[in-house]
Amino acid sequence: MTVTADSTTVGFVGLGIMGRSMAGHLQAAGYALHVYTRTRSSAQDLLDAGAVWHDSPGEVAANADVVITMVGYPADVEQVYLEPGGIVERARSGAILIDMTTSEPSLAARIAEAAAAKGVKALDAPVSGGDVGAREARLSIMVGGDEDAFDDVLPLFELMGKNIVLQGPAGAGQHTKACNQIVVTGNMLGATEALVYARRAGLDPKRVLESIGAGAAASFLLNNLGPKMLDGDFAPGFFVHHFIKDMGIAIAEAERLGFDLPGVKTALAKYEKLVDMGCREDGTQALIKAYED
What is the model's pLDDT at position 66? 98
Q: How far apart (Å, rounded) are the C-alpha atoms in residues 157 and 143?
A: 10
Residue 249 corresponds to which amino acid? I
Give the domain extent around 223: 176-292
Q: Residue 3 falls within a domain, yes or no?
A: no
DSSP 8-state class, residue 43: G
Question: Which of 136, 169, 202 lies at the terminal end of a domain, its last residue?
Answer: 169
Q: How far apart (Å, rounded) are the C-alpha atoms in residues 230 and 213?
A: 14
Task: Tell me what the pLDDT averaged over the chain comes to.
Answer: 97
Looking up residue 238, the CATH number of its domain turns out to be 1.10.1040.10
Q: Residue 33 falls within a domain, yes or no?
A: yes
Question: Which of 121, 150, 169 lies at the terminal end of a domain, its last residue?
Answer: 169
Question: Which of 148, 169, 190 lies at the terminal end of a domain, its last residue?
Answer: 169
Q: Residue 211 falls within a domain, yes or no?
A: yes
- In the residue annotation, 177 being an active-site residue is answered as yes
Residue 139, CA distances (Å) to 58, 157, 226, 293 in order? 27, 9, 20, 33
What is the largest distance, in Å, between two alpha-carbon atoms of the chain?
65
Q: What is the pLDDT of residues 98-141, one digit of tens each?
A: 999 999 999 999 999 999 999 999 999 999 998 999 999 999 99
- What share of the chain has pLDDT > 70, as a percent? 100
Residues 165 and 186 in one domain: no
Q: Residue 53 falls within a domain, yes or no?
A: yes
Q: What is the pLDDT of residues 43-63, one digit of tens each?
A: 999 999 999 999 999 999 999
Residues 33 and 136 in one domain: yes
Angle between helices 220-231 and 205-212 (to 10 degrees): 170
Q: Residue 288 falls within a domain, yes or no?
A: yes
Residue 132, CA distances (Å) to 9, 22, 56, 155, 261 in order? 26, 11, 28, 21, 28
Looking up residue 133, the CATH number of its domain turns out to be 3.40.50.720
Q: Which pTM value belongs to this model?
A: 0.94
pLDDT over 80 at 293, yes or no: no
Q: Which of 118, 121, 162, 177 is catalytic?
A: 177
Q: What is the pLDDT of residues 135-176, one digit of tens each?
A: 999 999 999 999 999 999 999 999 999 999 999 999 999 999
Residues 55 and 159 in one domain: yes
What total of structural domains would you count in the chain? 2
Using pLDDT thresholds of 50, 70 and 90, give the confidence band for residue 26.
very high
Using pLDDT thresholds of 50, 70 and 90, give the confidence band for residue 1.
confident
What is the model's pLDDT at position 292? 86
